[in-house]
Every structure is written in structure tokens, then in C-alpha cells.
Amino acid sequence: MFQLLDRARKFLLEKMGNIIKKPEAKVVDVNIKDLSRDGATYIAKVSVSNPYIIPIPIGEISYTLKSADRVVASGKMEDPGSLPGNEKTVLEVPVKVAHSILVSLVKDIGADWDIDYQLDLGLTVDLPLFGDIAIPISWEGEIKLPSLSSIF
């Protein structure tokens, strides 16, 4: 019986997938939040719009930060809450990078005094009747490092 219901749900998802509205998400900003002995914490601000009148629970947010064709950091943010109905919400996703990784990027930093990066996020929401839907988000940017003259 369960298999029949699961097949029916998959069939409905396949046929209705292009018709139903899905939440939309995009990265609006990435900034450094904290520097400590362990590393640096960056905050990725993600704007998510919920087209439904009911709140939608967020299952998880996964992230992968790449620089110089290497994975610098990856992880998950479990149970970040829910999206209020018919609203845009800005979520803050913390991305922690160890100092040892930052030191290995010196080659990229030395060229133009910034760190070029790519941030890939996966936002998983739980839509009623349809189940978990993954929303992929990608963002490329550069983090400018302060010069000695700007510090002093």
C-alpha cells in the first residue's frame, strides 16, 4: 500500500512539477563575521521568498565554499526554522573556515590581494504533499583583504 502511495506522489510531482510555484532563493551578500584563533567565520545572507500563505519548514541548508579550485569549507546547518507565508526572509548561514586553509590560499591572495571564491548552497524545504524539495543556489565573489595602510 505504501509503495502505491509513493508512486502516486512521484507521478503527481512529475506532472505538477512545472505548474506549482516553488520558493525562490538567492545569495545577497557574504561578509566576514568573526576572526578567532581557530579560523574565520563568514556569513552568507540568503534571501528566500515563500509563495504560499502557510509557513514552510526548512529541513537543512548545506554549503560548500570553494577557492582556487579547492573545497575550503563545507557543512550543514540543521533545522534553521521555517519560512513565513507570503514573505521574503533573509537567512544567515555561517560558514567556518580554518586558518590553515586560509594560509594555503596565499598564492591567490598574493596576486591581487583578495580571495576569489564560489559558494554553493542547497536549501531543502518540506512542501506539504510534495515532500522535500532542494533549491540549489550558487554565488561567486571576492573578499578584499585590508591593506596595511588602511589598518594604520
Structure confidence by residue, pLDDT tens digits, 65-100? 998 788 888 999 888 889 998 999 999 999 988 876
In whole angstroms, what is the distance from residue 142 CA to residue 149 CA? 20
Please count the structural domains in the chain: 1
2 found inside a domain: no
pTM to 2 decimal places = 0.76
Q: Look up the CATH number of the domain holding residue 111.
A: 2.60.40.1820
What is the extent of the structural domain holding 119? 22-144
Q: Phi and psi at residue 50, in whole multiples of 5°? A: -105, 115
6 found inside a domain: no
Given a cut of 50, the residues of the chain with pLDDT beneath it are: 148, 150-152
